[in-house]
A and B are shown apart, each in its own frame.
Chain A
Amino acid sequence: MMIKEVTIFPGYDKEGKKECFEKVEIYAGQKIGIVGQTGSGKSQLLYDIEKLTQGETKTKRKVMINGKKPLKELKTNPSKKIIGYLTQHMNFMTDTTVEDFLKTHIETRGRNHTEENTERLVEKIINDANTITGEQIKKNTNILILSGGQSRALMVADLAHVSESPVILIDEIENAGIRIKKALELLVKKGKIIFLVTHDPILALDTDKRFVMKNGAISKVIHTSVREKGIANYLSWINNYMLDVREDVREGKQVEELKLICSPMG
């Protein structure tokens, strides 16, 4: 299904006051940040979007797809689900290898994949995951022993290739152990809409706009400035540098040389 537009109609904050906007429109290809203090209603907003709510959640918001009320099927049928959700926790419980896990997930999604196709897709997911994390994931690694960074990287690549949802929700994907901007690039393929709850400035300043949450409501919509995007680039550079040094330390190398940052806004 092609998603051109997601529209959010206002609901009520924790004290029953109506949110002060008429509607918020988000178009295909946009990245939306959701920021705010703990308990300000960030996760609830993601939940409303995931539910494609029509006023039945506690905020009473309404979410329209392409300007229309979404069909119920979009919420209940997993193969028609238009929303992919990357949640905070990425633990696994099944005792299996990375390869078999991905194969099962591909099967679950129910698309007609030939065996050869599946093999290739699994390979691609693992390769992409390995560009996000410094700690290499192998096909035959047991998923239960993946590190936090590896799990996050694998689930980002899985979301990008297996789920293929046109709308993606990301709930505080932590920075630790992954190249976070690279991860996002993998997800933002042409035409996708991304909502991301984050405290991470690299991510928050790299969006098209960001919602500032307060007391359960969207209190402000900030359009990200060019300067902010530049700052995001700079911070991302630092983060990647940290990861490189981290890998060097892990591999037992001595770190003597300091990379200096030449053009911060470049």
Chain B
Amino acid sequence: MKIVIFGGTPGSGKTSIIKYVISELKDLKLHYVKFDVLSTEDDNLIKEKFDISTEKRISGDVCPDHYAALEIPKIIEKYTDKDVIIIETAGLCLRCSPYVEEGIAINILNILSGKPSSYGPLLTHADIVAVTKGDLISQAEREIFRAEVMKVNENASIIEANGLSGEGTIDIAEAIIKSPGIKDKLTLRHSMPTAVCGYCYGNKIIDSKETLKRYERGKDLKARLPNLNCGKCGFKSCNEFIRAVLDGKAKESQCPFLKKR
């Protein structure tokens, strides 16, 4: 089984490119997963268009890249019969990259969205950088952009891609076919931030005392929870459960694994 992770900022053309890639890979057994924060219909559209299995994973209150890292093993376990699992990430902040070492990492990079040097691991840790919307600017500037991408990620193969015409998508599909399959555990290419503070636990008041109080209670709960995101409490993730408890919307006893103090 191969795992392909697409990352890129919103509006970079990820979904359009993926559609072309899927039609190039139609002889393989595919599963498509879309990660998003609030809502998405892409999974339904792709299911309808290509008749492959799809699903969406909505991260809600959790950072979407953290959430993806937690969910990917579950997805792999569930779809062992597939040849390729295509994961489209939400693509929001540039701090992390959702890529794993064992799979192929593809960054869809909108040429109009600023200097390559201001992108983090989303760009620097990708195997393929597919530059989109290049048809809107001059060839000279495209060449300059390409050189700037190579400065921050000299190992990537840079492909000029177009989500409307399908340009470059054959090359992406070819790279996916040539990529090695996954065998054992997956490893992230880049660490995630330690996103734990009073605000992470749902505090809205900008006040240090209130935030600290919330943090202490949240930290205590976090330490006693299994952090499996098993969903038995009725929430998608342990973090969401913690927020609900702190907000008085859930009881600690809803978690079957909670350690007693």
Contact = CB atoms under 8 A, between A and B. Distances in A.
A241 interface: no
Chain A interface SS verdict (over half): mixed
Nearest to B138: A90
Contacts of B143: 78, 105, 108-109, 163
B170 A57 contact: yes
A162 to B, nearest CB: 7
A92 B138 contact: yes
A92 B137 contact: yes
B135 A158 contact: no
B146 A91 contact: no
A221 interface: no
B147 interface: yes
Interface residues of B, number: 19
B144 interface: yes
B170 A93 contact: no
Contacts of A90: 137-138
A57 B162 CA distance: 14
B139 A155 contact: yes
Interface string A74-100: 001010000011111111111000000
Which one of B112, B141, B166 has the greatest number of beta carbons of chain A within 10 Å? B141
B128 to A, nearest CB: 12
B112 A105 contact: no
Interface string B135-157: 11111110110110000000001
B61 interface: no
Contacts of A76: 157
B167 interface: yes
Contacts of B141: 92-94, 101, 105
A248 interface: no
13 contacts: A47-B165, A58-B166, A76-B157, A87-B135, A87-B138, A88-B135, A89-B135, A92-B141, A93-B111, A105-B143, A108-B143, A155-B140, A158-B140
Interface of A: 43, 47, 56-58, 76, 78, 84-94, 101, 104-105, 108-109, 151, 155, 158-159, 162-163
Interface of B: 111-112, 135-141, 143-144, 146-147, 157, 165-167, 170, 174
CB-based closest 7 A-B pairs? A108-B147, A90-B138, A105-B140, A91-B137, A158-B140, A155-B138, A108-B144
